[in-house]
Chains A and B, each alone.
Chain A
Amino acid sequence: AQQSKAKPQGQKTLALLLFCVLSGIRISDFPKHRAYDQIEKILKDDASEEKGERARMASFVGAIAITDLVKTTLGPKGMDKILQSTGRGHEVTVTNDGATILKSLHIDNPAAKVLIDISKVQDDEVGDGTTSVVVLAGELLREAEKLVAAKIHPMTIISGYRMAAECARNALLQRVVDNKENAEKFKSDLMKIAMTTLSSKILSQDKEHFAQLAVDAVMRLKGSTNLEAIQIIKKPGGSLKDSFLDEGFILDKKIGLGQPKRIENAKILVANTAMDTDKVKIYGARVRVDSMSKVAEIEGAEKEKMREKVKKILGHGINCFVNRQLIYNFPEELFADAGILAIEHADFDGIERLALVTGGEIASTFDNPESVKLGHCKLIEEIMIGEDKLIHFSGVEMGQACTIVLRGASHHVLDEAERSLHDALCVLSQTVNDTRVLLGGGWPEMVMAKEVDELARKTPGKKSHAIEAFSRALVAIPTIIADNAGLDSADLVAKLRAEHHKEGCNAGIDVISGSVGDMAELGISEAFKVKQAVLLSATEAAEMILRVDEIITCAPRKREDRM
């Protein structure tokens, strides 16, 4: 009798919990048996404790709620989310990047935090697949919930999931294509990957254009994953199509007054030095004077010092000087007199990049000009993008660097475009290192699901239920992609599954035509590294949450009144 009574109550709590997760109320806020706190009050006042079933339910519900939140952004027809910050100005971000959405959510549910964390790590590590990893982890947990309800021990589920994940990985490894040897083919692979990544983003309209941009930029890096050499400048105005890749380097600064606007065969000195007044750095030094004339003398000496410094800089035989710190009027004037282009207050990144690009070193002292390496470039000129003047360095020594100038209708569009492009660049640069490539469009998931299903049939014992559940969770991804595209997912996925039972099939979901298509022909590819990271992190996260049987929440730190 007890059991039958508990069930409907459980369902009600589930709905209640879902509400809690979304509205940010902690479950412990609900009144419970106060007496419990009385005798066994081993925890502090506001701390709370969830045990066994309840704890598991809380984490399942939290994780599933997060999954449902980002689920709709998956795939080429995924929708965007508007995020409004609570800070001043209520800034608005429009995005469909999973990591960005999750990063900005304030969530109290600990299990949900685990999912947010994996998406963040995915972003840092491979740059793309941030939504997929959360969705897969969520689906794994959703399946696990059913198994737990069927009285299968979480530990059994975990060991099943582990076997399945290993099997799925091997299935992918068997089917990867590696075109490392063939440069031509590899480039087309990169192009396909870039297009696939971009197709789910705001840039999908001009994905060919942007894929070309991204591939060109990454190819210039020649295998390094250092994306710093790729600079992205956002300028509102124009349309996304007007975005372009510049082979040189663009610095978002103005040229000082009265200085040349165009220099050919420039010799550049990149510096990080004070060009206001050179302070005496010896501790405790101060100026004490007793008459006005002395003040003037010291001022003169100071000016003299600056003049000397400028002279020394000029002694390097340069015609362009870029400084990280401010350049005051006086030295600027001196530079202008000497016909030298002086750029002040370039930010740290800019300086480093410029030094990298032009092959010069960042200098701070100027006493021995013969040994300082100067940067070179063919041409420095002022260019106009939209209404802004920028400084353009072209014909630089190092071929690695380039600048992508993004144009777009509004800041929101540009921000999102930058995020999308960043994703694509990350994936591409990772693919250059790990050249293994898979097909996309739900193809890898179906391949994995098929193998995992077979494993389930071979495995005796309760574990096989968990392995089967793993395969169901994998199939959920193409299902969601189809759902998001407004297609009949049940029908499509069933067709897809049937196709996949043939040997060496390349079938995936063709969202554009709304049917099952050959992914190899359509040119939809994904990087193996991304898929592997998604699979492994999602399994790890699901495992972690499943292992929990108790949640202890400490009392939130009291905010002190600073008034």
Chain B
Amino acid sequence: MALAFDEYGRPFIILKEQEQKTRLSGLEAQKGNISAGRAVSRILRTSLGPKGMDKMLQSPDGDVTITNDGATILEQMDVDNQIAKLMVELSRSQDYEIGDGTTGVVVMAGALLEQAERLLERGIHPIRIAEGYEMASRIAVEHLERIAQKFDFGPTNIEPLVQTCMTTLSSKIVNRCKRALAEISVKAVLSVADLERKDVNLDLIKVEGKVGGKLEDTELIYGITVDKDMSHPQMPKQIEDAKIAILTCPFEPPKPKTKHKVDIDTVEKFQTLRQQEQKYFDDMVQKCKDVGATLVICQWGFDDEANHLLMHQNLPAVRWVGGVELELIAIATGGRIVPRFQELTPEKLGRVGLVREKSFGTTKDKMLYIEHCANSRAVTIFIRGGNKMMMEETKRSIHDALCVARNLIRNNFIVYGGGAAEISCSIAVEAAADKYPGVEQYAIRAFADALDAVPVALAENSGLQPIETLSAVKSQQIKENNPHFGIDCNDVGTNDMCEQNVFETLIGKQQQILLATQVVKMILKIDDVISPSDY
């Protein structure tokens, strides 16, 4: 191999001629691809688990992001290599589908690739390896279903859900107050969840953040916050039992789409036009007043005159509210979005218990809280944090926790975390391998080894002896025939994950294994890489 490693563990090439090469084929291509894939997984490996480290990413514009969320790291990494891009896609699809385990899936794929490389060196055909992996993944997924436990919770008994969210949050920087955040996430998910249909629309949960304050000040608002203030500084700052008119038409004279011209050639016309204009504003405001609205929320701006008229009529108004927020407000208040003043009717108004303006810190930041909605399905998680990076990271962590809670509502089977599920699968796959005749047997066995990579990485990151710990846990699992044993990352003293309350969702874990296998299969099947030579 033309690879050597320097003292920092970075590989470099001895053969200079490779610089000119733009086409790799055969084994060479596979090895190149594998090493690229592994390089990506190596970056994420140290971020795995509760003691995982963070990565600092600097964007092209110089903004700094600090995170240990696999999907975010890869997305912002500005990756150029095609295979590496596949890995990025992999973590992204895990993020879209499950929302959590984005780091684990990449580490897993990296381990599978590493094992594949060894098999390739032994002369096993890549397709055979791919097939073996496929079989093994099926075994593992089935095994997971066997060891999964049904998990009971109800709207009143949220404790199990909170525990699971805490497992997710414990690997993030926010683990200082993971309990509080987990509770917030679970409450948020439960209040928007449709427990009959077992579905959760996460769009109804808005995650907002404002720099400043402490992480502990993060709160769940049964309602919506809008980062806007009243259009006129002297409008009332607090409205109780508000009836909201939600408008998508501006408080301005009409602007017909068709081209037209209004010609003024006499003084009379000039005057009628002026009166018309004034009447127009009056009409608009009067319409809102007539239907009984006590708050106007508008997607567009107001004319100065209209603004004053609103103020005058004692009708508070908010302008320039974004489309997404408008929809959320409509959902929460049970109102309808009204595109034209003519269509405004009392039934279309949204109802809300309390609207208030709140200001923060010493700056002039103000936000509008819309609370006690008629239909309290929409909630907002309002995050405070010491600095911008902290807040962004909290947002990501909360998102993960929300996804986990959602998955549990969709499918309430769980497996045990801390590497327990992987170890158990690895044992099952290893045992099953011997039953397969043919070359695939080796691939299946390699798959079992690759499954060990996650617990090994967990142990490594937690400062434990990786191999010793893994073998101890593995033998314990076999001896006691109990798939609850995992790596004791937090040094609690027991490695029974059941006692430590470290859970993961079954579908999350299954998805991890399936996605990782798929990508690895795809990478293995490539035997020729032709890239444009830009040197």
At the interface, yes or no: B343 with Cβ under 8 Å from chain A?
A: no
Contact of A371 with B56 at beta-carbon distance under 8 Å, contacts A39-B3, A39-B32, A124-B362 already known: no
Tell whether, in the assembled complex, residue B265 and residue A557 are in contact, meaning their CB atoms are under 8 Å apart.
no
> Which of A198-206, A331-339, A399-407, A539-547 is near enough to bind chain B?
A539-547
Q: How does the 8 Å CB contact mask read for A282-304 relative to B, with 1 for contact and 0 for none?
A: 11111111100010011011100
Stretch of A15-23, A41-49, A172-180, A250-258 contacting B (4+ beta carbons < 8 Å) = A41-49
| New A-B pairs, 12, CB < 8 Å, besides A36-B12, A126-B361, A362-B233 | A33-B6, A110-B58, A124-B211, A125-B213, A282-B253, A297-B267, A298-B264, A362-B234, A364-B304, A549-B55, A551-B55, A554-B78
The answer, yes or no, to whether B173 is at the interface (CB within 8 Å) is: yes
- A141-166 contacts to B, CB under 8 A, are 153-156, 162
In the complex, A384 has a CB within 8 A of chain B = no
**Cα–Cα distance between A459 and B281 once the two chains are bound (Å):** 71
Residue among A280, A286, A543 making CB contact with B274, cutoff 8 Å = A280
User: B305 contacts which of A126, A290, A364, A553 (Cβ < 8 Å)?
Assistant: A364
Asked if B308 and A548 sit within 8 Å, CB to CB, the answer is no
Residue of A nearest to B306 (CB): A364
| Top 5 A-B pairs, shortest CB-CB distance | A364-B308, A35-B12, A549-B53, A42-B84, A35-B13
A55 and B56 contacting across the interface, CB-CB below 8 Å: yes
A-contacting 9-mer, from B34-42, B120-128, B196-204: B34-42
Identify the stretch in B108-116, B143-151, B383-391 within 8 Å (CB) of chain A at 4 or more residues.
B383-391
Question: Quick check: B389 and A557 within 8 Å, CB to CB?
Answer: no
A182 proximity list for chain B (CB < 8 A): none
Asked if A551 contacts B56 (CB within 8 A), the reply is: yes
> Contact at A541–B387, with CB atoms within 8 Å?
yes
A126 to B212, CA, bound (A): 9
Q: Are B232 and A362 in contact (CB under 8 A)?
A: yes
Is A219 at the interface (CB under 8 A from chain B)?
A: no
Whether A537 sits at the interface, judged by CB under 8 Å, is yes
What is the CA–CA distance of A128 and B173 in the complex, to the nearest angstrom?
Answer: 27
In Å, the complex CA distance between A30 and B244 comes to 60
Stretch at the interface among B97-105, B184-192, B254-262, B286-294: B254-262
Flag whether A4 is at the interface (Cβ < 8 A).
no
A426 touches B8 (CB 8 A): no
Residue A76 at the chain B interface, CB threshold 8 Å: no
Docked Cα-Cα span, A508 to B532, in Å, equals 69
A287 CA / B13 CA spacing, docked (Å)? 77
Tell whether B263 is near chain A: CB-to-CB under 8 Å: yes
- Whether the pair A283, B253 counts as a contact (CB closer than 8 A) is yes
Q: List 21 A-B contacts (CB under 8 A).
A: A33-B6, A42-B39, A47-B77, A121-B387, A155-B463, A280-B273, A285-B273, A287-B263, A298-B264, A300-B267, A302-B270, A362-B308, A365-B312, A367-B278, A540-B385, A544-B173, A548-B66, A551-B55, A552-B56, A553-B58, A554-B60
Interface string of B35-54 (1 = CB under 8 A from A): 11001100100100001011
Contacts of B19 in A (CB 8 A): 38
Known contacts A285-B273, A301-B267, A537-B387; A40 and B66 CB within 8 A of each other: no
* CB–CB B55/A550 < 8 A: yes
Within 8 A of A (CB), among B38-95: 39-40, 43, 46, 51, 53-62, 64, 66, 68, 73, 76-81, 83-84
- Asked whether B79 lies within 8 Å of A162 as measured between CB atoms, the reply is no
Chain A residues in 8 Å Cβ range of B73 = 552
A6 interface residue per 8 A CB criterion: yes
**Does A197 belong to the interface (CB within 8 Å)?**
no
Assembled-state Cα–Cα distance A38/B51 (Å): 32
Task: Output the nearest chain A residue to B259 by Cβ-Cβ distance.
Answer: A284
- Whether a CB of chain B sits under 8 angstroms from the CB of A262 is no
Q: Once the chains bind, are B13 and A110 in contact (CB under 8 Å)? A: no
**Cα–Cα, bound, A227→B360 (Å):** 12
Cα–Cα, bound, A171→B138 (Å): 57
Query: Inside 8 A of B83's CB, which chain A residues have their CB?
Result: 42
Is A280's CB under 8 angstroms from B62's CB? no
**B362 touching A121, Cβ below 8 Å:** no
Option from B11, B77, B389 in Cβ contact (under 8 Å) with A40: B11
B252 is an interface residue with CB less than 8 A from chain A: yes
Q: Which residues of B contact A (CB under 8 A)?
A: 2-3, 6-14, 18-19, 32, 35-36, 39-40, 43, 46, 51, 53-62, 64, 66, 68, 73, 76-81, 83-84, 173, 176, 211-215, 232-234, 252-256, 259-267, 270-271, 273-274, 276-278, 280-281, 303-305, 307-309, 311-312, 359-365, 385-390, 463
A residues less than 8 Å from B387 (CB atoms): 114, 117-118, 120-121, 537, 540-541, 544
Q: Taking CB as reference atom, which chain A residue is nearest B393? A: A544
Interface contact B386-A39, CB-CB below 8 Å: no
- Indicate if the CB atoms of A547 and B386 lie closer than 8 Å: no
Q: Is A444 an interface residue, CB under 8 A from the partner?
A: no
| Interface mask (A110-144 → B, CB under 8 Å = 1, otherwise 0) | 11011001101101111100000000000000000
A429 to B173, CA, bound (A): 32
| A36-B79 in contact given A42-B36, A553-B58 (Cβ < 8 Å) | no
Among A44, A225, A285, which residue has its beta carbon within 8 angstroms of that of B359?
Answer: A225
Given contacts A113-B64, A117-B388, A430-B362, contact A40 B36 (CB under 8 A): yes
Q: Assess whether B8 is in contact with A54, with CB atoms less than 8 Å apart.
A: yes
A residues in contact with B211, CB < 8 Å = 121, 124
Contact B386 A554 (CB under 8 A): no
User: Who on chain A is nearest to B233 by CB?
Assistant: A352
Residues of B within 8 A of A40 (CB): 11, 35-36, 39, 81
Is A492 close to B, CB under 8 A? Answer: no
Contact of B80 with A281 in the complex, beta carbons under 8 Å: no
| A108 touching B62, Cβ below 8 Å | yes
The answer on a CB contact under 8 Å between A557 and B254 is no
Contact B311 A127 (CB under 8 A): no
Instruction: Decide: A540 near B390, CB < 8 A? Known: A280-B274, A283-B253, A356-B233.
Output: yes
Would you call A282 and B264 a contact (CB within 8 A)?
A: no
Q: Is the CB of B43 within 8 A of A550?
A: yes
- Let me know if A272 is at the binding interface, CB within 8 A: yes
Residues of B within 8 A of A11 (CB): none
Given the complex, which residues of A lie within 8 Å of B252, measured CB to CB? 281
Q: How far is the CA of A494 from the CA of B304 in the complex (A)?
A: 65
CB distance from B316 to the nearest CB of A (A): 13
For B305, list chain A residues within 8 Å (CB): 273, 364-365
Measured in the bound complex, the distance between the Cα atoms of B57 and A55 in whole Å is 11
CB distance from B213 to the nearest CB of A (A): 7
**B266 and A297: CB pair below 8 A?**
yes
Bound CA–CA A502/B259 (angstroms): 85
- CB atoms of B66 and A287 under 8 A apart: no
State the CA gap A42–B80 with chains docked (Å).
5
A310 CA / B93 CA spacing, docked (Å): 65
Docked Cα-Cα span, A125 to B215, in Å, equals: 14
Q: In the complex, A108 Cα to B59 Cα: how many Å?
A: 11
What's the nearest-Cβ distance from chain B to residue A363, in Å? 6
